[in-house]
Amino acid sequence: MSVLSGLRLLLVEDESHVAMLIEDMLVDMGCDVVASAARVSEALRLIDATDIDAAVLDVNVAGEKVFPVAEKLRERAIPFVFATGYGAEGVREDLRAQPVIAKPFPQSQLEKALIKVVSRDDGNTPAPPVSDIRSNDP
C-alpha cells in the first residue's frame, strides 16, 4: 500500500483539461481529490471548508499567482507541490523549498514529489529542494 493511498488532496489548476489529467494521475496513485479550484479565492475558501492532507498547485491560476494559497497551506502545515510550466524560476524565492515539477510531467514525477512532501517527519520542516524534478520514466 502506497503512502499516497487515501490521501485527501486539493488541486488548484485553472485549465480544465490539465486539471482532469492531473486528477486522473492522482486517482491512479490512490489519492482522493476532495477539492478542486480554478481560482485563488476559491482555493483559499476550500482550505477553510475542506479537510485536506496535501495540495497540488499551479503557479499561475487565472492570471493570479497562487502564492497566497501556498502561504495558507504552509501556515497550516499542509504539504504541497507546485506543478507549473514556469519551472522553479516562476516560484517565489521563499517558497522554493517546496517541490516544483515542470509541466508537462509524467505521473512518476508527480508521485515522487508528493511522496517527498507527505513523508516528512514534521510539517514545518521543509524538504530539500526538488526543483524541476526530472526523470527518465515515461
**CATH code, 37:** 3.40.50.2300
User: Does residue 13 sit within a domain?
Assistant: yes
Domain range for 90 is: 8-118
User: Does residue 72 sit within a domain?
Assistant: yes
User: Does residue 18 sit within a domain?
Assistant: yes
User: Does residue 134 sit within a domain?
Assistant: no
Q: Is the peptide bond before 128 cis (omega within 30 degrees of 0)?
A: no
Domain count, the chain: 1
User: Does residue 113 sit within a domain?
Assistant: yes
- pLDDT digit string (tens) for 35-59? 999 999 999 999 999 999 999 999 9
- pLDDT digit string (tens) for 65-114? 999 999 999 999 999 999 998 888 889 999 999 999 999 999 999 999 99
